[in-house]
Structure 1
Amino acid sequence: MKTELVTTLKRQATRIIDDLRTDRAPIMITQHGKPAAYLVDVDTYEAKEKRMEILEGLARGEKAFSEGRVLSHREAKRKMSRWLK
């Protein structure tokens, strides 16, 4: 992973963003010698957000299952019928 100073980002934002689009590797931005932020390309960010949505949905489903909040196939199909038309 590449690391850039926040002052370098301020001075060379266009070059850094161009490199990011090409390499698609996250860049750690440091401020006062400490990590302050990560810079990622749009496609990578959106893919990670989608992955998180899926994982959160799975976690909610596992929790509902462990709490006994389950439906039969017929009940689920009936409840989902308005979206399945």
Structure 2
Amino acid sequence: MRVELVTTLKRQATKILADLHRTKEPVLITEHGQPSAYLVDVQDYEFMQRRLALLEGLSKGERAFLEGNHTAHEAARKRLQKWLK
């Protein structure tokens, strides 16, 4: 992963963005020697957001199941029958 100072980003934003779009490699921006932000390609960010939403949905389903909040297949099919026609 590429690491850049925030001052370098200020001075060379166009070049850093061009490299980012070309390589798709995230850039870690540092301030005062400490990590401050990640610069990522828009498509990669949107992909990560979709993946996160999917994982959150799976986690909610798993939690509901573990808490006993589920319905047997046959009972669920009967409840949903009106929409499955």
Output the TM-score relative to the length of structure 2. Answer: 0.86
Give how far 1:80 is off.
9.0
Give matches, 1:5-24, under 5 Å.
Answer: 5-24=5-24
State the identity %. Answer: 52
Larger Rg: 2
Query: What is the RMSD computed on CA atoms of the aligned residues?
Result: 2.1
- 1:43 and 2:54 aligned: no
- 1:78 and 2:80 aligned: yes
Distance 1:70 1:53 in 2: 21
Match of 2:60 in 1: 60
Q: Secondary structure at the match of 1:12?
A: helix
**49-58 or 71-80, larger mean C-alpha shift:** 71-80
Letter in structure 2 aligned against 1:17: L
Count of matched residue pairs: 83
Q: Classify 1:16/1:51 alpha carbon distance in 2 versus 1 (closer, same or farther; 3 Å).
A: same
**Any gaps of 5 or more consecutive residues in structure 2?**
none
Output the TM-score relative to the length of structure 1. Answer: 0.86
**Any gaps of 5 or more consecutive residues in structure 1?**
none
Show CA shifts across 1:57-77 (max 9, x none).
000000000011112335366
